[in-house]
Amino acid sequence: MSVETPLLIAGVAIVAFLYSTVGHAGASGYIAVMTLVGLSAATIRPTALTLNIIVSLLTTWQFWRAGHFSWPLFWPFALFAVPLAFVGGYVSLPTQVFKVLVGLVLLFSALRLLARPSADVAGPPVSRPVALLSGAGLGLLAGLTGTGGGIFLTPLLLFMKWARTKQAAATSAAFILANSVAGLSGNVIGTRSFPGVAVPLAAAAVGGGALGSFLGARRFDHVIIKRLLAVVLVIAGVKLVFTV
């Protein structure tokens, strides 16, 4: 066991806990932790997606059991997102400038969540064409950045008032699960390899994700979840802006 291994395992568990409380799976956090310990880019992307699948499955189950999941809200966003996440995971593009712009958007979203506390209410439902187009774009973005896309979907649902906080979390968890499976499939097919380090990290992800998703779905109120979401957005935004 290398010196970095305990740090990596602890980091994955903490990220899984924090992200799962808000309906996310933690890909951007895992990427940051694995970058800090010096893993290669070829190892980081599929490992993050693998951990994403595990945590998003736990999170989807917890929020569904608590009654927050809405199929009519979920499927229009996911329909085109899944195949485009596969495409994004398959291709390899020089996307650093693009990632910086996305990171700045996430940081701005975090500031809005911290500066503008609002009632947990939803307005008129999103129109189906808008949901389909938004989901397509978010799916491609998820595949290109090695995330599940929930880091982008949740702020969109909340700022547009298309869902209440826990409903947005439940929708994003399922969205992440579908996109992460597609993105990992595209990556494995494109690279014809799978990192062995993903296996031991899975246990840490299960422990953190199980506890975090339970608290997020059944114990934390919407104000706490929005504050935690802001923290998650800051982590993801800083990661995208400052890492290659």
pLDDT of amino acid 50: 92
Cα angle 34, 172, 98; round to 5? 55
Residue environment code for 18-51, b if the CB has 16+ CB neighbours within 10 A, otherwise e: bbbbbbbbbbbbbbbbbbeeebeeebbbbbbbbb
pLDDT tens, position by position, 111-140: 877 766 566 778 899 999 999 999 999 988
Joined tokens for residue 238: 């800083």
Q: Which domain holds residue 81?
A: 4-242
Mean pLDDT of the chain: 86
Number of domains in the chain: 1
Query: At residue 1, does pLDDT exceed 50?
Result: no
Q: Are 29 and 205 in contact (CB under 8 A)?
A: no
State phi, psi for 122 to the nearest 5 degrees. -115, 145
Closest alpha carbon to 209 in 71, 60, 78 = 60
Give the gyration radius of the chain's Cα atoms.
16
Q: How far is CA 70 from the centre of its chain?
A: 18
3-state secondary structure of 11: helix
pLDDT tens, position by position, 35-44: 878 888 778 8
Query: At residue 87, does pLDDT exceed 60?
Result: yes
3-state secondary structure of 17: helix
CA distances from 212 to 9, 23, 59, 108, 209 (A): 16, 9, 8, 25, 5
Distance CA 20, CA 13 (A): 11
Distance CA 195, CA 169 (A): 29
pLDDT tens, position by position, 168-182: 999 999 999 998 898
Q: Residue 68's pLDDT band (boundaries 50, 70, 90)?
A: very high
Query: At residue 4, does pLDDT exceed 70?
Result: no
Q: Are 122 and 162 in contact (CB under 8 A)?
A: yes
Residue environment code for 102-111, b if the CB has 16+ CB neighbours within 10 A, otherwise e: bbeebbebbe
Distance CA 149, CA 176 (A): 6
